[in-house]
Structure 1
Amino acid sequence: MKKKHLLATIAWAFAGSAAFASPADDVMAPDIEKGEREFEVAYGTDRSDAGKYESALALSFGAGISERWATELGVEFERARGEHMKYGGIEWENRLGLIIDEDAPVALSLLVGFERPRERAEGWSSTLGLLSETTVGRFLVNANLLVERNWDVDAEDEGDEGEEEDEDHDPGAADRADDDAEARTTLGYQWQVLYRHSHRIYYGVQGMGEMGQWDDWAERDEQEHRIGPALFGRIKHAGGQRLNYTAGLLFGVTDATPDYTLRLKLEYEL
């Protein structure tokens, strides 16, 4: 697995926010390097033919605490069409190494993340995932499965009129509606296939998406699926510091997905 160490480090970078929907999300890698410190900035924008777009800017700091634990704390800013960039939320992400042997055919880590949006009515969200990575010749393959759960969501403003009618027939309807909102658990995925062109430049294709409720997937056109090319690069300084950069352009393949997502990211390693 030493052959893929450079690309794995680049692919980690911001590693995406814990929430699936951010335009700044990236494919996460399972690698953990003890003692490594990283400052990262990621920017992404979604656009559609209807003129709707959303942008996100994410800033974070990460560190390899031990050989099996890496942690990262980040803050995200967001902007919708016609609005200014504003604070969107804070997130804390941890990767716990399950298979870390460099000679093993597959690297595997457990992702545990938490996010608190700026809008308190949106409650909290947590993400639990399996991050995997393997190499085939000069190709590196990542495949991740993610489960995101929202809780403490304020559902008072959602469907008040309908709830009042339901309460006439069933006094517990409103409480059950609140429970449903708090208990939403969403299934998502990420993958990428990258080719090591040289020690400094890598390119390939990425994909990510969300199927909806984990035990009751949404209709095909209501799911979100994106796919597109990505480029990775690295500049190494004499003092041992490294500057990694990533650029990706993902295209939506369903009606519920933005037509395209452009992502840019810089990572400074110490």
Structure 2
Amino acid sequence: EGAARLDYRYWTVRRPLSPEVVWPEVGLGYGVNNRWYTELFMSYIGPNPAQAKPNTLNWQNDFLLTQGQYSWDVALHTNLVSDQAGQKANALEIGPVLQTDIGRVQINANLIFEQALGADTGRPPQLKFQWQAKYRWHTVFHWGLQGFGELGDWNRWSGANQQSHRWGPVVVGTLPWAAKQRLEYQAAYLGGSVYGSVGDMLSVRLQYVY
């Protein structure tokens, strides 16, 4: 509550016989209260960071609905996506975010429905999922597994050879910085498929909280 965040995210996807694609993202977030977090961030895309161009402007809002009353905490995630590259990629993402603890293991599971806005509004929402299980060894170092996937239309999934499924190891931690300031980091290397073809993904996230 009352804390601001400078947020930097970096994604890469590499497929066999294809050039690498990178997605740097830069944003500013704010904890409005203990149940509402909002962030505005710009997403870029290109063959490398120096040549990445603006792709989408995103307005993310997360609302915590339960907090300790049940075995799972539940939040509502929303993200309004505004196309910046002339690709008619405007969209709304919305879905539940779940979290529970089993001893020192924290488990997260998210279901995200993405509805195109504008010319493609007749297309059914696309269903994505995210999951993570991490062992909280120490504040500065948690380790575990993380995964992402895209299944196609929410009510009629794509064939297995057209879906995306990626998973792999992740490390997470928090480093004290100064009074009421800290640096949060996350890094993961995921292997699997990207819309049916083999692809590896590297993701890095750094957040300066002040």
Equivalent of residue 150 in structure 1, options 108, 116, 122? 116
TM-score, L = length of structure 1: 0.73
Q: Contact 2:133/2:146 (CA < 8 Å) preserved in 1?
A: yes
Query: Given the alignment, which residue of 3, 6, 10 partners 1:43?
Result: 10
Structure 1 residue ranges without an equivalent (≥5)? 1-33, 154-180
Q: Which residue of 2 aligns with 1:133?
A: 99
**Match status 1:182 vs 2:148:** no
- Name the CA shift for 1:108/1:255 in 2 (closer, same or farther; >3 Å): closer
2:56 paired residue among 74, 89, 108: 89
1:254: Cα distance to partner? 6.3
Distance 2:122 2:198 in 1: 26
Task: Give, in whole Å, the separation in 2 of the partners of 1:38 and 1:261.
Answer: 25
Aligned partners of 1:264, 1:125: CA distance in 2, in Å? 24
Following superposition, the deviation at residue 237 of structure 1 comes to 2.4
Whole-angstrom CA distance in 1 between matches of 2:99 and 2:171? 18
2-side partners of 1:258 and 1:222: how far apart?
Answer: 11
Shift of 1:216: 1.4
CA shift digits 1:33-89 (9 cap, x unpaired)? x212111111111001122321011001111112221111001111037x9211111
The structure in which a higher percent of residues are helix is 1
Higher mean C-alpha displacement, 255-264 vs 219-228: 255-264
Q: Post-superposition shift, 1:257?
A: 4.6
In 1: Cα distance, 2:70 partner to 2:53 partner: 44
Deviations 1:183-233 (A, max 9, x none): 221001000000011121000000110100111111101001100000112
Partner residue, 1:200: 140
What is the letter of the counterpart of residue 62 of structure 1? Answer: G
Q: 1:220 to 1:138 in 2, by over 3 A?
A: same
Structure 2: stretches of 5+ with no match in the other structure = none
Which amino acid in 1 is paired with 2:116? N
Q: Which has the higher strand share?
A: 2
Distance 2:198 2:60 in 1: 26
Residue of structure 2 aligned with 1:212, choices 149, 152, 155: 152
1:6 alignment counterpart: none
Aligned pairs, how many? Answer: 208
Give the structure-2-normalised TM-score: 0.92
Aligned to 1:231: 171
Aligned to 2:29: 62
Give the drift of 1:255: 6.2
